[in-house]
A and B are shown apart, each in its own frame.
Chain A
Amino acid sequence: MSQFAINLLFVGASFALYIGIAIWARAGSTKDFYVAGGGVHPITNGMATAADWMSAASFISMAGLLASGGYANSTFLMGWTGGYVILAMLLAPYLRKFGKFTVPDFIGDRFYSNTARLVAVICLIVASITYVIGQMTGAGVAFSRFLEVSNTWGIWIAAFIVFLYAVFGGMKGITYTQVAQYIVLIIAYTIPAVFISLELTGNPIPGLGLFSTHTESGVPLLAKLDDVINALGFRDYTADVDNKLNMVLFTMSLMVGTAGLPHVIIRFFTVPKVADARWSAGWALVFIALLYLTAPAVGSMARLNLMTTVYPDMAGQVENYDEAATNPILYEDRPEWVRTWEETGLITYTDKNDDGRIQVYNDSSEAFADTAEQRGWEGSELNVNNDILVLANPEIANLPSWVIGLIAAGGIAAALSTAAGLLLAISSAVSHDLIKTMINPRITEKGEMLAARISMAGAILLATYLGLNPPGFAAQTVALAFGIAGASLFPVLMMGIFSKRMNNVGAVAGMLSGLVATLLYIFTYLGWFFIPGTNTLANTPDNWILGISPLSFGAVGAMINFAVAFSVSSVTKEPPQEIQDLVESVRYPKGAGMAVDH
């Protein structure tokens, strides 16, 4: 059977599974649609949350960024897990007690203001659309490879399927479908990693293999990787970073963003009790950690495999790396996976020095320029898109073709489940919070559904258009979304619970200033409204204020939000008594009751 047929089989079978579960679960109870019955066990809910949460960014893109950035990109690992700690302690139990279903609902009620509700809707939409851009980028990579089409076509096909998937709707709301998606996703991610870890280190647990000995050379794996890439002019994989401020702020942006993203928060409304909301966050993190503890192993091992594919003599080497570096493979001898990925345009080769061989090295390093010249190299010749790494990983390691089919299914599951979840968050914000609550309370159910579908279609078109020329790799684009959510929504959610004094004016001023400051900073470097080529300043560290990258600015935006909200609130009227009582009541689990219908 051809690889194409195998991919189709795995992706098709996984879709059949999700749809089957959706139909089975729906037959059981239609009320489950939004609330999932309010009877979901914390472990089940944790697994579903993990599936909802781990998107194309985690599955497809993150290991590639770790591979290229090494230690410096540990920020993604810490940021996307550490957020659950603040979510579990600062938001989840209280929002569960509050007992409504959307983030704008809480903000609108707690700050007794439709203006606050409107601003929350805007923040939610901006953050979610940015997030969907990242998903489209990642799904585009997966589809282009698996259907063997160009990346652009891959993105359009992904858009079409996401649309069908999201409009089909209920599927997303059914917890058990997500449990199935989690299982597909985690198996697909783990199996190739186990094989590769066994191959390189003899240790079947990738997370431990990362810190074990590289079998072929007898050197610790990470030391081996450092040596190999060093000989090619790259910085050590494990090298410390100089700009610690940026690293801290980036990690913080991802953490507060996690706690500010509507589709994750919503999940904590579906557990029966406040105590369960606390446990649920812990279980979600356990299931997320299964992937996140494997990801750094996948990244480093794939980098090593990639380098030893191009420079076969490097693999068994202990010291003579310079000599090994002079003997890269011939382009015509390139492995099959390079050929197939070349068709997607995500790997490109140009024989700059006309020697018929493939040289890969750090051609932007000035310190290495002399060595490269001596070796007769005229530039790095193979350009590998970071986002393909996880999908190409089984091929790079020569794993059987069913593993490749499995990973295609996993990557697509990750991208689709999250994209659909976000689109539902966007459409419910427009149809429920904006139109039904604020503009036309007497809108018919049919009209509400129509508004939901139109806003969903609009969001997909916009995200797809911007996804064709994304502001970064999938995980980076998603990181921007976290920055935006963290700077705008997280601070007011937190203050709404922890400060009785915080009033409507303060919250609105805080959200607006956090959102605007963050967007201005991001657009300045990455293009206005993410339209390529419209950026005011080049996106290089020299131009960044205090070396703070646009990806890291969310943490600064959140601080601005807090500061503005507190100052404005302290000079304006304190909230009415009933609001203070409301705040008081969300703090105690007593009397939480069942989750109410939407």
Chain B
Amino acid sequence: MADDKSNAAAYWSANVRLITGCLIVWALVSYGCAILLRPLLAGIPVGGTDLGFWFAQQGSILTFIGIIFFYAWKMNRLDKKFDLGE
């Protein structure tokens, strides 16, 4: 029972760490590159405008898809590793 508990706790903290990492990337592309850091990226031209504009209209969406699939893949492996899957 004690083992079960510590195993479960380790699984949960691994999950929380993974979520935190993913959320950092999530915030970086949307709030970062697309909004707050746009002036810094203004020098990088993309098709008639700048990189920040691209992130705001397309780049962030593509990154979001990547994040979700990465998280799902990673979690399914964690489920197996900690033997907590279905």
Interface residues of A (CB under 8 A from B): 71, 74, 77-78, 81-82, 84-86, 88-90, 93, 207, 210-212, 219-224, 226, 238, 240, 244, 247-248, 251-252, 273-275, 278-279, 281-282, 285-286, 289, 292-293, 296, 498, 584, 587-592
Tell me, rounded to whole Å, the shortest Cβ–Cβ distance linking A245 to chain B: 10
A278/B75 in contact, CB under 8 A: yes
B60/A238 in contact, CB under 8 A: no
Contact partner, B31, options A84, A251, A296, A498, Cβ 8 Å: A251
Contact partner, B72, options A207, A226, A279, A296, Cβ 8 Å: A279
Contact with A along B33-53 (1 / 0, CB 8 A): 011101100100011111011
A591/B48 in contact, CB under 8 A: no
Given contacts A88-B72, A278-B76, A592-B86, contact A292 B48 (CB under 8 A): no
Given contacts A289-B62, A293-B58, A591-B86, contact A222 B49 (CB under 8 A): yes
Contact with A along B47-86 (1 / 0, CB 8 A): 1111011101110111011011101100110010000111
Contacts of B19 in A (CB 8 A): 89-90
B69/A77 in contact, CB under 8 A: no
CA distance A285 to B26 in the complex (A): 14
Contacts of B71 in A (CB 8 A): 88-89, 278
B47/A221 in contact, CB under 8 A: yes
Contacts of A221 in B (CB 8 A): 47-48
Most buried by B among A78, A207, A589, A590: A78
CA distance A285 to B61 in the complex (A): 9
Contact partner, A275, options B62, B64, B72, Cβ 8 Å: B72
CA distance A281 to B49 in the complex (A): 31
Contacts of A292 in B (CB 8 A): 61
B36/A289 in contact, CB under 8 A: no
Most buried by A among B35, B57, B65, B71: B57
Tell me, rounded to whole Å, the shortest Cβ–Cβ distance linking B81 to chain A: 13
Contacts of B35 in A (CB 8 A): 244, 247-248, 251
Given contacts A211-B47, A211-B48, A221-B48, contact A85 B84 (CB under 8 A): no
CA distance A210 to B49 in the complex (A): 10
Instruction: Determine the main DSSP class of A at the interface with B.
Output: helix
CA distance A81 to B16 in the complex (A): 22
B interface residues, tally (CB under 8 Å): 44
A296/B36 in contact, CB under 8 A: no
Contacts of B26 in A (CB 8 A): 82, 85-86
B8/A584 in contact, CB under 8 A: yes
Given contacts A211-B46, A211-B54, A240-B39, contact A84 B68 (CB under 8 A): yes
Contacts of A244 in B (CB 8 A): 35-36
CA distance A461 to B39 in the complex (A): 47
Contacts of A248 in B (CB 8 A): 31, 35-36
Contacts of A219 in B (CB 8 A): 48
Contacts of A279 in B (CB 8 A): 69, 72
Of all chain B residues, the one with the shortest Cβ separation from A77 is B57
Of all chain B residues, the one with the shortest Cβ separation from A300 is B57
CA distance A289 to B47 in the complex (A): 20
Contacts of A78 in B (CB 8 A): 30, 34, 56, 60-61
CA distance A252 to B49 in the complex (A): 25
Could you pull out 24 A-B pairs where Cβ atoms are within 8 angstroms? A71-B57, A74-B57, A78-B61, A81-B64, A82-B60, A82-B64, A88-B68, A88-B71, A89-B22, A220-B48, A221-B47, A222-B47, A238-B48, A248-B31, A252-B31, A274-B85, A278-B68, A278-B75, A296-B57, A587-B12, A588-B8, A589-B79, A590-B84, A592-B86
Contacts of B68 in A (CB 8 A): 84-85, 88-89, 278, 281-282, 285
A285/B64 in contact, CB under 8 A: yes
CA distance A562 to B52 in the complex (A): 31
CA distance A483 to B26 in the complex (A): 20
Given contacts A251-B31, A589-B79, contact A220 B47 (CB under 8 A): yes
CA distance A584 to B8 in the complex (A): 9
Of all chain A residues, the one with the shortest Cβ separation from B58 is A293
B72/A74 in contact, CB under 8 A: no
Of all chain A residues, the one with the shortest Cβ separation from B48 is A220
A77/B36 in contact, CB under 8 A: no
CA distance A457 to B55 in the complex (A): 42
Tell me, rounded to whole Å, the shortest Cβ–Cβ distance linking B56 to chain A: 4
Contact partner, A589, options B30, B64, B67, B85, Cβ 8 Å: B85
Tell me, rounded to whole Å, the shortest Cβ–Cβ distance linking A227 to chain B: 10
CA distance A170 to B52 in the complex (A): 44
CA distance A285 to B60 in the complex (A): 12
CA distance A273 to B15 in the complex (A): 18
Q: A-B pairs with the 4 shortest C-beta distances?
A: A220-B48, A211-B47, A74-B56, A278-B72
A273/B86 in contact, CB under 8 A: yes
CA distance A385 to B35 in the complex (A): 27
CA distance A437 to B83 in the complex (A): 36
Of all chain A residues, the one with the shortest Cβ separation from B83 is A590
Known: A240-B39, A275-B75. 20 other contacts (CB 8 A): A81-B60, A81-B64, A82-B64, A85-B22, A85-B23, A85-B26, A89-B19, A89-B22, A89-B68, A89-B71, A207-B58, A220-B49, A222-B53, A248-B31, A279-B72, A281-B72, A285-B64, A285-B65, A289-B62, A590-B85
CA distance A222 to B56 in the complex (A): 14
B56/A77 in contact, CB under 8 A: yes
CA distance A81 to B79 in the complex (A): 26
Of all chain A residues, the one with the shortest Cβ separation from B42 is A240
Tell me, rounded to whole Å, the shortest Cβ–Cβ distance linking B82 to chain A: 8
Contact partner, A89, options B23, B36, B76, B85, Cβ 8 Å: B23
CA distance A292 to B34 in the complex (A): 16
Contacts of A273 in B (CB 8 A): 86
Contacts of A252 in B (CB 8 A): 31
Tell me, rounded to whole Å, the shortest Cβ–Cβ distance linking A156 to chain B: 36
A240/B61 in contact, CB under 8 A: no
Given contacts A82-B64, A211-B48, A221-B47, contact A274 B86 (CB under 8 A): yes
Tell me, rounded to whole Å, the shortest Cβ–Cβ distance linking B9 to chain A: 10
A275/B36 in contact, CB under 8 A: no
A282/B65 in contact, CB under 8 A: yes
Tell me, rounded to whole Å, the shortest Cβ–Cβ distance linking B48 to chain A: 3
Of all chain A residues, the one with the shortest Cβ separation from B67 is A85
